[in-house]
């Protein structure tokens, strides 16, 4: 499926991978962005004319519902929903700077929000006005969703939950026009990963590979080093887990 003349919703797209996807897609598609920072959304509208934006804190269920309903009021159908927004807190439960309240925020933004957003926008994806043409829900995931590291335990857990949710949802939608895809990323050079790791993939390359997966109907898109991690986990799981434990 060529990603042109599509109506695409992307969450958390004012920086990093989401921002690069918007830049790649906006000229030939109708792109709708939902994010928390109103100033960044205004800047995005000025930089990329035609991009439609909605401000919402996606860790709050009520704000997800309000934003989704605004989209549904304006657009009767959608072609692609990209659940991209995420947050990662790195302190362990034993660290002095661990923040208890971050647990709920991380779970809500990385997982619960995706369930909510999918629920509210699913009717518009199923009511595609182009003769029941295939539409897509794409959930941006991580290699940490199937092999966790020592830090960021809650983040790893939310990504594992997202994987299972995506699989189950795909079963539910088998008899519809909606397809569920996942993109599993290696470490990408974004604001979320600032100060961590080396040899990180650029957000532009990650965005290109994600879009390639959409166009080529790749339901499980293992990007970059995630391919090797999958192989290690299958052949020598102890080594894969040992590597990621130190990650």
Q: Which residues are catalytic?
A: 155
- The answer to whether 128 and 81 are in contact (CB under 8 A) is no
Spatial separation of the C-alpha atoms in residues 107 and 124, rounded to whole Å: 26
What's the CA angle centered on 142, arms 189 and 58, to 5 degrees?
85
The whole-angstrom separation of Cα 40 and Cα 94 is 34
Alpha-carbon span 185 to 224, nearest angstrom:
7
* First-to-final CA distance of the chain: 36
Residue 139 to residue 121: CA distance in whole angstroms: 14
How far apart CA 227 and CA 213 sit, in angstroms, is: 14
């Amino acid at each position: 499926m060529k990603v042109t003349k599509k109506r695409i919703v992307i969450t958390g797209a004012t920086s990093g991978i989401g921002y690069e996807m918007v830049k790649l897609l906006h000229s030939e598609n109708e792109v709708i962005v939902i994010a928390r920072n109103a100033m960044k959304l205004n800047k995005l509208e000025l930089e990329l004319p035609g991009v439609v934006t909605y401000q919402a804190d996606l860790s709050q269920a009520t704000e997800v519902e309000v934003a989704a309903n605004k989209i549904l009021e304006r657009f009767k159908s959608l072609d692609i929903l990209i659940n991209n927004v995420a947050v990662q807190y790195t302190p362990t439960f034993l660290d002095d700077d661990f923040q208890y309240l971050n647990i709920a925020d991380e779970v809500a933004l990385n997982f619960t929000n995706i369930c909510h957003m999918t629920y509210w926008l699913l009717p518009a994806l199923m009511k595609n006005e182009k003769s029941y043409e295939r539409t897509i829900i794409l959930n941006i995931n991580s290699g940490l969703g199937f092999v966790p590291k020592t830090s960021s335990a809650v983040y790893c857990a939310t990504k594992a939950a997202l994987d299972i949710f995506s699989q189950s949802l795909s079963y539910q939608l088998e008899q519809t026009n909606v397809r569920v895809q996942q993109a599993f990323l290696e470490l990408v050079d974004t604001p979320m990963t600032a100060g961590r790791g080396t040899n990180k993939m650029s957000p532009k390359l990650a965005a290109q590979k994600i879009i390639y997966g959409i166009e080529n109907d790749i339901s499980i898109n293992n990007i970059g080093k995630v391919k090797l991690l999958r192989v290690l986990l299958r052949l020598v799981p102890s080594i894969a887990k040992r590597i990621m434990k130190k990650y």
